[in-house]
Structure formats: structure tokens, C-alpha cells
Structure 1
Amino acid sequence: MSENGKDGKEESEEKADRKWEEMLQEVRVAQTGAQILFGFLISVVFTPRFTQISPADRTLYDVTVVLGAVATGTLIAPVAFHRFLAGHQMMPELVRAGAKMIVLGLVLLGITVGAALALLLHVATGSATAWAVAGAVVFWFVVCWLVLPWIALRAGKRRAVRPGA
């Protein structure tokens, strides 16, 4: 028993419950964005101009829609996991699996946004510059979503090693 009268397994479950709640709050933003983007992508095929796009742009559209569907499904997957695992004292496992799905969903969402942007800009301008702009945006996502958090994590670990610094 620990100081608060709970054993380590119970504390672990409570900590996992808190982490799970935090994850759900975080993923709601990404889920909403993915669902809205996917909805817009689905509606494009029903516009009159869709029949006028080139076969290459149509292929890019198809890939983008599939990526959007997979990103949306991946970001929603932690909810399905929760439904299956809730009540089975598997919250730590649920948190680990959910975190991995959220990261994968964010990567897929970033790629989907990049592909949608490339398609939009290419159809709108007919310029190969669309690919460079979309690539720059995806690079910016990598910086914001991966590099900056990684830098912050490293800085935090360095501070933890040198207390009082």
C-alpha cells in the first residue's frame, strides 16, 4: 500500500484514467478538423467542375479522399478501443494504444491536408508551384507537431537531470 492507502495497480489505473481524459480532449480538435476536411472532399465529386479535372488531378483527389477517410477513422479508433476495453482493468493499455493511434492519425491528417492543398492549388493555378507550397505547409506541420514538441521534451529532460538549474 502507498501513503494514500491505494495499491500501485489502483494508482496506475487512476493515472491512466486521467491521461485518457486528457487524450480525449486533445483528439477532439483533430477529429473535428479531419471530419470537416473529409466532408468537403466528399462533396467535391458532386460539383460540375470535377469532371473537368485532369486524370492526374483525379488520381490525387482519390488518394486524398482515401487518406482523409483513413485519418478520420484512425482518430476515431481510440473511442472504439475504449468501448471494447472499458471495464476490463486495461486502462494503461488503452492509453498506450490510443496515444499511438492519435499520433498516426495526426500524421495521416497532415498528409491529407498537404495533398488537399496541392490538389486545390494545382487545379486553381495549373502551376507546379502548388507542390512546393503544399510541401512547405507539410514541412511546417512537421516542425509544429513534431520538432518543437521534441525540442521542448529534450529541454525538460535536461532540466530534470540538473535540478535547480
Structure 2
Amino acid sequence: MSKASKSSRPSQDDRDESEAERLDRNYNEMLQELRVLQAGMQILFAFLLTLAFQARFGAVSDFQRNVYIGSLLSAALAAGCLIGPVAFHRIVFRRGMKDHLIKAATRYIAAGMAFLFVTMVGAVLVVLDFMLSRPIASSITGSLAASFVVLWLVIPLVARARETDDEQDSP
């Protein structure tokens, strides 16, 4: 990033906000993230819950059944993690603990996204393994998993590292 474009973007220190305003802003940003994650997770979890009751589910192999069970349990854990900040908020509400809430919610969200990753990859593997050969299903699912790792982890970490390097290079 060029120094000219960096100077036009406010850094954490350039914001004219109190600690309470910063916590409120962080909390609102976190809520937006949770809304997106919860919607997708709930739809996928509902799909997985109904899958076992479909007529063709009896035709799945032991491998597919085991991956399905792992995906279903992972979806339940994702739901628990992504709903966790709501329970945390309810318990600490009006106790001046928003900073603790934000730190805990950050961990809940990271864990929820990890479980959501496992759920999505597992669900795709079950469906593709049912429809295609195992080697093809595994290759496609592995590519999908790698894509998620790049999109959800590598790109943000590279961006963060570049930002840190830019901050150290500036006078």
C-alpha cells in the first residue's frame, strides 16, 4: 500500500472516539459479522438435521454416514459458538463488561467459523461422495477446503501483515 493512500485512512490512533465509543463500534461490527454467520450456519444445520430423514439416506455408505455425523455435530458446535456471544451478553448486560464481551465473542466467532468450515467441507464431501467416486469427491472437497483456507485465513493474514509492515515503514 502506498504511503499516500495510507495517510487518507484513519488508523486506530487517529479516531476521535472515547473508549466507550470504540467498544460500541467494535460491538456493532461484531454483531454484523454474527448476523451473516448465524444465518448461513442455521440454514446448513437445518439441512443436515433433515437429511437423515430422507428416503435415500439409507443408501449411504458407512464412510458417508460417519462424515455426515461429524458434520452434524460440527454444525451443532458452530451453532453453539455463534450463539454463545448472545448468552454471554445476556449474562453480563449492564455490568460494564463490554470489553470482556468483545474479547469473548471474538473467540466464540473464531471457534464457530472453524466448526462451520468443518461442517461445510463435510457436507460437501457427503454429497459428492454419494454422487461421484470417492477420489473425485475427495479432490473436489480438498480444493474447496483449500479455497476456504485461502479466503478466510490466508488473505486476511497477508493483508494484516502488510498493514503492519506499512505502519513500521512510515516515519
- Flag whether TM exceeds 0.5 (same fold): yes
Matches within 5 A, 1:2-151: 11-151=18-158
Q: Distance in 1 between matches of 2:89 and 2:25?
A: 14
Which stretches of structure 1, 4 residues or more, deviate above 3 A after TM superposition?
A: none
Structure 1 unmatched runs, 5+ = 1-9
1:4 is matched with none
Cα deviation for residue 13 of structure 1 reads 3.0
Is the aligned partner of 1:152 residue 2:168?
Answer: no
Q: Is the 8 A contact 1:118 1:134 kept in 2?
A: yes
Structure number with the bigger relative contact order (C-alpha 8 A, sep ≥ 6) is 2
Q: Distance in 1 between matches of 2:111 and 2:69?
A: 20
Q: Distance in 2 between matches of 1:87 and 1:11?
A: 18
Cα deviation for residue 142 of structure 1 reads 0.8
Aligned-partner SS, 1:128: helix
Q: Distance in 1 between matches of 2:38 and 2:63?
A: 29
Cα deviation for residue 126 of structure 1 reads 3.4
Q: Distance in 2 between matches of 1:130 and 1:44?
A: 19
Cα deviation for residue 48 of structure 1 reads 0.5
Q: Residue type of the partner of 2:170?
A: P
Q: TM-score, normalised by structure 1?
A: 0.89
1:6 is matched with none
Aligned-partner SS, 2:134: coil
Q: Residue type of the partner of 2:140?
A: V
Q: Is the 8 A contact 1:13 1:92 kept in 2?
A: no
Cα RMSD (Å) of the superposition? Answer: 1.5
Q: Distance in 1 between matches of 2:88 and 2:142?
A: 33
Q: Is the 8 A contact 1:12 1:92 kept in 2?
A: no
Q: TM-score, normalised by structure 2?
A: 0.86
Cα deviation for residue 40 of structure 1 reads 0.6
Q: Distance in 2 between matches of 1:100 and 1:94?
A: 10
Q: Distance in 1 between matches of 2:93 and 2:23?
A: 12
Aligned residues: 155
Q: Distance in 2 between matches of 1:103 and 1:85?
A: 20
Q: Is the 8 A contact 1:16 1:92 kept in 2?
A: yes
Q: Residue type of the partner of 1:59?
A: N
